[in-house]
Structure 1
Amino acid sequence: MELFQAGAHWSGRRESAEACARRVEVLFRQLGRCDPTYARWFEYAYSRKHSLQLPFDPTFETFLRFFERRKYRLAREVFTFDAWTGQEQQGRGGMLSFTCGSNEPFYPNGCLLHLPREEPAASRVLTVSVLKEVVRAMVQAWDPDGCAVIPEGDRGSKKTMENGGTCLGWLTYVSGRRGKVPSLPRPARAEPMEGQGTLIVLTPERFSLENPAHVVLAGRVRERLEKAGLLSPLPG
């Protein structure tokens, strides 16, 4: 089974601990509505045993306390955090990490969610209907420049995402700040999201790098988005 991750990024945006805590509370609350996988969370630790001793309630007050700790600060007002959903199975299906509040190029703002690899959670979550809600949660929380659900085997997109860049995924959100999404070749479709931007869905079925038709379609859509300047970095 191909593994997937959802990631969002946004350009420099200095924000206080209070502002970031409010955004993170929205993120976790909305993710909790997507699937039971995201109903409980633990602070990430280097051993499962230790992490399971660190449950937390993802509220504004909780994150405000976390952001007071030195371990969750990269700079005075640059905050970072890693969380885990506590599955006992092998894999990273419930890991989430983010950096926010940064206006520094060497601390890019971003959020990354490793999607489930174990059944039955994978079959529930890796569908267009649920992933649309995962992307919507990130959009509502972060107001990002872009967001994408990509196969972890897509090394180019994965590297671009981890470096805070914009890439095309199975599902891709493009902020309205970037411009208008052009017409797309079928079966790809575009629809407005949250009145802030556009969601692009490449295929109604699960996207696969091993499907030549999916790869060709992705290339055609990417070409149109690049021509429209929608994958270029935003200034700031």
Structure 2
Amino acid sequence: MTTKPEPESHLETYYAGAYWGPRKESPDECARRGVSFLNLVAACDPLLAHWNKIPKPRGRGRKTPLMPPDLATLTEAFGRGVNREPGGPGIEDLGLTVEAYNDGSGQDFAHLRMHVGSYAEGMSNACVLSLPSKGEGAERILTAPVLTEVVRGMVLAWEPDWAVAMSESHRDMDEKADSVDAWTGWVTYLARHRGTVPPLPAPVRIERVEDRGTLIILSPERFTVSDSEHVALAARVRELLYRAGLLKLLRSRP
């Protein structure tokens, strides 16, 4: 009698992202923030300390190392990263985009996208870091202390409205719930202007980021959607933040 092989468990993938509304900034201003962010994230783990610019158009041009971060190099990169129609002039109010990859390959690969300087009505800005999800690098990075520092670096460099480090599976679950204007993940940051973070249930930890806002760390161990207690805790915290006015509905509850 033969038995069917056990199906492979779903690999949960993780990322960190910082988000904010329209903010007009020049290539030089964006580059200064970019230099700060690259230095801060480099201190979090060796896999996040080596970055190369992705050429634009993608796949063309020489490899351009971004570390150690050089202001002139990043200023030029953001200047070339203006959004435009093919062959047309730059559309400045749609912002500037620079993408980069680390020196890792395979399971150690990480990707960074900085879309900043957008000031068109209704547009947003973001710095999004896709992280390794398996292997030794992932074991080091996917911990509460390291992800807290990654998000803290995003906050200090970009001054976002909110930021998060979470699994993509958890984000997909969050999107299916009531639509609010910020995701709540394993590590969440909310800017001070959004309000005061209320008392939250254990084991949630709260940390201040200077005078800018608050970090909320849901769990000291790796957050996974396969753990029903993790999912329930996240939902509870999300509800408490909503009731305290820190999250706003994007559509009415039924």
Q: 1:49 to 1:103 in 2, by over 3 A?
A: closer
CA distance in 2, matches of 1:33, 1:89: 22
Flag structure 2 segments of 5+ consecutive residues without an equivalent. Answer: 1-10, 84-90
**Structure 1 counterpart of 2:66, one-letter code:** F
2:234 paired with 1:218: yes
Aligned residue for 2:152? Answer: 136
CA distance in 1, matches of 2:210, 2:130: 23
Selected match of 1:80 from 97, 109, 118: 97
- Find the residue that maps to 1:80 and give its secondary structure: strand
2:36 paired with 1:26: yes
Flag structure 1 segments of 5+ consecutive residues without an equivalent. Answer: none
Q: 1:213 to 1:198 in 2, by over 3 A?
A: same
Aligned residue for 1:64? Answer: 75
- Shift, 1:64, TM fit: 0.8
**What fraction of aligned residue pairs are identical, expressed as a percent?**
39
Q: 1:88 to 1:40 in 2, by over 3 A?
A: same
TM-score (norm 1): 0.88
- Shift, 1:51, TM fit: 8.2
Aligned residue for 1:54? Answer: 64
Contact 1:5–1:150 (8 Å) recurs in 2: yes
Aligned residue for 2:164? Answer: 148
Aligned Cα RMSD in Å? Answer: 2.7
Task: Say which is worse superposed, 147-156 or 27-36, in terms of deviation.
Answer: 147-156
Contact 2:241–2:247 (8 Å) recurs in 1: yes
- Shift, 1:54, TM fit: 3.4
CA distance in 2, matches of 1:121, 1:95: 14
| Alpha-carbon displacement from aligned partner over 1:27-71 (angstroms, at most 9, x marks no partner) | 10111111100121112259x9868833333222111111222xx
Instruction: Indicate the structure (1 or 2) with the bigger Cα radius of gyration.
Output: 2
- Counting matched residue pairs gives 229
